[in-house]
Structure 1
Amino acid sequence: MAFVTYPHPVLAQKAEAARVDATLLAIGERLRAAAIDARAYGLAGAHIGEAAPVIVLNVTPDAPKADYRLFFNPRVSAVADEVESGTEGSVSLPGVEVSVERPVWAEIAYEDADGAGRTERFEGFLARCALHEIDQVDGVFFLDRLSRLKRDMVLKKFLKRQRLG
């Protein structure tokens, strides 16, 4: 699957909440297939060119078998005061990994495939993944979490690497 690459406009577009219907479910299934194929920890609709309020997360990142779950209309309902730095990257900016500060846990409200409201708390790496993908649903690319100087440096290095092939 070909992913949308930075700085495509859909990566900066906030997805509006939507009813969980056949269209949104189909986008979710395409997203899940793309995540499985790429062995991604998580993806948002924007990565496949859809400004849709859906993310997929591998909720068992340390297990031998991945468990990719869909979260519709996800939003952050609570986060830890404590933060830690961790490495993040994106299929939309291949080869780039940077350190980003995130809360150590997050409570996520979302709708399941039946449209029922749910809430889950994620900790550590899984919280980081969920927050990263929800940011993307909100039109916030992970580089937006960096200082302007660091972001410019990372992009300059990326573009140079792209030119050199």
Structure 2
Amino acid sequence: MAVLPIIEIPDPRLRKVSEPVGAFDTELKRLIADMFETMYDAPGIGLAAIQVGVPKRLLVIDLQEEGEGVRNPRVYVNPLFSEPSDEMSVYNEGCLSIPEQYAEVSRPASIRLRWQDADGAEHDERVDGLLATCLQHENDHLEGIVFTDHLSRMKRDMVLKKLEKQRKLNKAA
């Protein structure tokens, strides 16, 4: 396993629409393992393949219970979303591709999700809560969307200015 470099905005690859995964082979399993290692190292709770430069429809998520320390890795290949709830949920989102920046984003509180696992087996489930939020956030990456796209222009500009300031401070250190 390897920790892969995470692409950050404004890298144009983050705006690329990802292609479906076709082969469920050892190369896919290696990518999944590397993505988990990268996500845990960052640290984060979700990562889309495009964030490590691979334009494939692949997400990894682990919503470990705080303080529990028990990992619960989940893999979603070729996810398809449908039946969003009318009820909305607001969550203070962050993103490994927009480091150390957070903003409240409103998304459907629950969704229906169809996906394949690492072996290609198909699954179908209704999800809600933080998992629904995280899945929608990561799936946005597969469509070339980042969480700041859901913000008003003023809020988006504020987040991006804070990011640029943080980058300058990090360079100076």
- Return the TM-score normalized by structure 1: 0.91
Give the structure 2 partner of residue 14 of structure 1. Answer: 17
| Amino acid paired to 2:88 | V
Q: Which among 45, 49, 53 is matched to residue 49 of structure 1?
A: 53
Q: Which among 70, 79, 84 is matched to residue 74 of structure 1?
A: 79
The structural deviation recorded for 1:60 is: 4.3
C-alpha change, 1:153 and 1:39, in structure 2 (3 Å) is: closer
For residues 116-143 of structure 1, the C-alpha deviation after alignment (integer angstroms, 9 at most, x for no partner) is 2211222111110011001111111111
Q: State percent identity of aligned pairs.
A: 33
Q: Which among 24, 31, 35 is matched to residue 35 of structure 2?
A: 31
Give the structure 2 partner of residue 130 of structure 1. Answer: 135
For residues 23-60 of structure 1, the C-alpha deviation after alignment (integer angstroms, 9 at most, x for no partner) is 33332222122123234211100121111110001154
Matched, 1:5 2:4: no
Unaligned runs of 5+ in 1: none
Unaligned runs of 5+ in 2: none
- Return the TM-score normalized by structure 2: 0.87
Matched, 1:104 2:101: no
Separation in 1, partners of 2:80, 2:10: 24
Give the structure 1 partner of residue 98 of structure 2. Answer: 93
C-alpha change, 1:103 and 1:7, in structure 2 (3 Å) is: same
Separation in 2, partners of 1:73, 1:61: 26
Separation in 2, partners of 1:69, 1:39: 16
Give the structure 2 partner of residue 156 of structure 1. Answer: 161
Separation in 1, partners of 2:88, 2:7: 30
Cα-Cα RMSD: 1.7
Aligned length, in residue pairs: 165
CA contact 1:15–1:52 (8 Å) conserved in 2 = yes
| Amino acid paired to 1:103 | P
